[in-house]
A and B are shown apart, each in its own frame.
Chain A
């Protein structure tokens, strides 16, 4: 729908320009509602039919002092008429709510890009707070004026004026500035305001029972939209046509949501109940938020007293027969490592979610990284292998959450689901899956003893998978004990026998490797053999894939492949690696996958390693790859 005003008819029509894709960033103070604003623009664009990819970027401080640079919160979304995989390297348009946001973000805007500024916040006092020198106003800086299309709008004043009759206080009115800004942007990109009007009505009027708050926000949104239309600030209006996506029904989904839905689906496909135990930690807490709302699916959520309690409760829930999950980030994995080792020793299925963040130690909790790979692979006492899968995008989380359980129950071994903040917080369109097409997960809990003449044998293995039976309390005749002491194979009794110990270590590793028989082979995008393979894993999928496309468009022999299964690797990985002259592994770490690949396949892989707390710029990947190729 297009909102029209009477005033509009008096104006000369603005020029329309079509663009393939636009990356827009909303930046302001933590309290300015930038995440909500960006989220709304994303939903509206998705509903319009664009492909989308988002990057929310916010500080760990909940409300840092207003106006400071460390309190700046941002949300970037790329919306496109073509298939895209990243939120965009360069920002085409930016909405800036205060000088601190301007200072920290302006460098990311493309030359000639649009910068819409709330000029009311560009005050002496605020310049001082964000550390601009006295007497300096960036809006008057000739260099900025030359580099960008800076459009100052008195948003605070206009919002107040438009809501002067609302009877609401200044504080409530000022909170609507973000909607005024969103209105302007909706006009500029020819978007309907309807989805946001519906959202505001649903959220404030229906759920929170504050219709007056919904009303002023809607009015501010409309005022911004009309302002864009009538103020003649923009000579051009931009259109980004719907993307040609695969046929079907879509919704916008974040990685955290998709993970939660995947787990619920996995449980349903197995006829099991989900039990999630976790301790609050950024950026993994979203998962317990989503799952705790799904009690009518029988989902049990337990907020434990600490990370250790959460893994222990998860192990116990698995022993009791549930699909058990715990979720955390790197520091939590460190705390859980003893528990994960025990779970591996018990040989029980469960999923441990690691939403990686920038470390080490507390690091940068709201920023992303891929540096927990080796911790997850090896970070336990002795030989303690576990299964590792890694989703590659927000929507892929759904499938990989199901895969995590499928593999875990098949091998009776814990599975680490290695996600990251970029995937968990990012959002993209999701083609809704056909539930009937998802394979059931077969679970067998024994009901009769495997040893009628003596005690039950809890470690008598399936000859094909080497998995032990999953006998659960409540089953008569199958009483048995599990423990962290080394156990005799078959009987499960405590054993210090040297040969048995070596056999058990090898068996626990082998049953994971046997999973390679059922996981899909690694697929390659681009030439099946050639000069370069860009190999990645996790949240870098979008950047690597886009970089590969770009390099091929430039005529280079470059393929890309992304590992979603890390332990075990897909069976054909060695073959794929050997088909290229150079293997390059971009990772947001010092080269952890590279270390595994070099060790396992003796391939002299080269790393492109960034550790900046955010994803790769596609152009950087392209340049680095070219530099390696030209060596």
Chain B
């Protein structure tokens, strides 16, 4: 009998022998730690896991995880991940990427892996800057961003990663923060468990080229006012005193105070429904400073079959219908004729 029991693994089992070469203080370290902690809890064998990355600081990730790994081409990690799953649907495939990699050069592949619902996990380390090339504005940089390539300020309107994911029919969409290790672990585990494409945006600090870009959302002093935690079925509440919330007004959300003397009760607030795609889009649009920004699982749809399963189902179906292919018969099919006379 083959030994089918899963080995008990720890974070250090997923640590490769390579020195980590990110800048000291980079937000990527926290994400690397979270990934190493989450991996042993997935019930997967180490040899069945593949980390795929494109190009950029975040893309060095596979070198630091002791699984199979592919450091590929700028922007193309989703295409590699799709190829892996087409070949071997049993692999647990992770993409670790940055905002330039996934949303600029790789934007096309991002859209397509999501709409196909390939069963993989995408972790977007969004630092709103090009780090490896030393500080140009990225597709998530805010309008007017002054960088080396935009001395008078960027004139690009930024892309909204979560809205893109909703629009691309991604079946699991979530957001977390690099330094909120606890939350990051919880959300990452949810993402990993999802069958289909999971997309996790992580607010990540590039402390060299875009330091403090996310401080409004990540620092103790402000985060209670600028972010809120989503929980399925629960009201959307925020604020240091937990006395503010989001309420539907027409088709959109508004910020209200609730509780005694406000005339608004907790029941009047919008309640999160992870399965509501329209709500997911509305949530994805909430942005500081007009709104607190949602954290946690924004959308989840477990009902859609993955691309690779359907692909393999078709193969099974073809074999069931026609029998396992007979090569000799294939070569000899159609109109054939015999030549008897020797040349």
Contact = CB atoms under 8 A, between A and B. Distances in A.
Interface in B61-107: 62-63, 66-73, 76, 78-84, 86-88, 90-91
Interface string A276-315: 0100000000000000001111111010111011101111
Contacts of A473: 47-50, 68, 84, 88, 91
Interface string A47-70: 101000000000000000000000
A275 B318 contact: no
Contacts of A297: 324-325, 327, 330
B322 A46 contact: no
Given A277-B83, A476-B46, A312 B337 contact: no
A551 interface: no
A248 B89 CA distance: 43
A494 B322 CA distance: 48
A428 interface: no
Contacts of B71: 481-485
Contacts of B335: 43, 46-47, 195, 251-252
A187 interface: no
B108 A306 contact: yes
A274 to B, nearest CB: 10
Nearest to A276: B86
Nearest to B333: A251
B336 A251 contact: yes
Nearest to B55: A484
A262 B96 CA distance: 38
B340 interface: yes
Interface string A244-267: 111111111000000001001100
B113 to A, nearest CB: 9
A433 interface: yes
A459 to B, nearest CB: 14
Nearest to B53: A483
B315 A298 contact: yes
Contact of A251 (B18, B84, B108, B332): B332
A565 interface: no
A475 B45 CA distance: 10
B24 interface: no
B311 interface: yes
A414 B314 CA distance: 29
A294 B324 CA distance: 10
A2 interface: no
A432 B330 CA distance: 11
Interface in B317-343: 317-319, 321-325, 327-328, 330-343
Interface residues of B, number: 67
Interface stretch (A108-116, A316-324, A593-601): A316-324
Nearest to B342: A247
Contact of B337 (A246, A250, A261, A493): A250
A268 B327 contact: yes
A46 to B, nearest CB: 7
A49 B337 contact: yes
A480 B68 contact: yes
Given A473-B68, A484-B71, A295 B88 contact: no
Contacts of A494: 18, 63
A482 B314 CA distance: 31
B180 to A, nearest CB: 29
B267 interface: no
B62 A483 contact: yes
A380 to B, nearest CB: 12
B341 A244 contact: yes
Contacts of B194: none
A342 B72 contact: yes
B215 to A, nearest CB: 33
B17 interface: yes
B87 A433 contact: no
Given A296-B322, A477-B47, A493-B18, A315 B341 contact: no
Name which of B72, B319, B330 has the most chain A CB atoms within 10 A of its CB: B72
A432 B83 contact: no
A296 B319 contact: yes
Contacts of A312: 72-73, 76, 79-80, 83
A481 B72 CA distance: 10
Contact of A247 (B86, B90, B317, B339): B339
A315 to B, nearest CB: 7
Chain A interface mostly: mixed
B109 interface: yes
A292 B72 CA distance: 27
A339 interface: yes
A266 to B, nearest CB: 11
A296 B17 contact: no
A435 B328 CA distance: 7
Interface in A457-480: 473-480
Contact of B83 (A252, A313, A480, A483): A313
B108 A479 contact: no
B339 A309 contact: no
B47 to A, nearest CB: 4
B292 to A, nearest CB: 35
Nearest to B74: A338
Contact of A478 (B47, B82, B332): B47
A309 B116 CA distance: 13
A271 interface: no
Contacts of A304: 79, 82, 112
B278 interface: no
Contacts of A265: 327, 331
B265 interface: no
Given A249-B337, A493-B18, A316 B45 contact: no
Contacts of A520: none
Name which of B91, B111, B334, B336 has the most chain A CB atoms within 10 A of its CB: B336
Name which of A299, A313, A342 has the most chain B CB atoms within 10 A of its CB: A313
A574 interface: no
A288 to B, nearest CB: 14
Name which of B81, B83, B336 has the most chain A CB atoms within 10 A of its CB: B83
Contacts of B72: 312, 315, 342, 483-484
A201 B68 CA distance: 54
Nearest to A268: B327
B339 A433 contact: no
Nearest to A346: B70
B336 A432 contact: yes
Contact of B86 (A251, A275, A481, A483): A275
B176 to A, nearest CB: 26
A455 interface: yes
Nearest to A436: B328
Interface in A148-203: 195
Contacts of A324: 83, 87
B219 interface: no
Nearest to A477: B47
Name which of A249, A264, A275, A296 has the most chain B CB atoms within 10 A of its CB: A296
B76 A320 contact: no
Interface of B: 16-18, 45-52, 55, 62-63, 66-73, 76, 78-84, 86-88, 90-91, 108-109, 111-112, 311-312, 314-315, 317-319, 321-325, 327-328, 330-343
22 contacts: A43-B335, A46-B337, A242-B339, A244-B339, A251-B332, A295-B314, A296-B319, A296-B322, A300-B311, A305-B109, A305-B112, A309-B82, A315-B80, A321-B88, A339-B76, A432-B332, A435-B327, A473-B47, A473-B68, A473-B88, A481-B68, A494-B63
Nearest 10 interchain pairs by C-beta: A316-B83, A313-B83, A483-B71, A297-B325, A312-B79, A295-B318, A481-B69, A320-B87, A309-B79, A305-B112
Interface of A: 43, 46-47, 49, 195, 242, 244-252, 261, 264-265, 268, 273, 275, 277, 294-300, 302, 304-306, 308-310, 312-317, 319-322, 324, 338-339, 342, 432-433, 435, 454-455, 473-485, 493-494
Given A249-B338, A264-B330, A316-B81, 7 more contacts: A250-B337, A302-B83, A309-B79, A316-B79, A476-B46, A481-B16, A481-B51
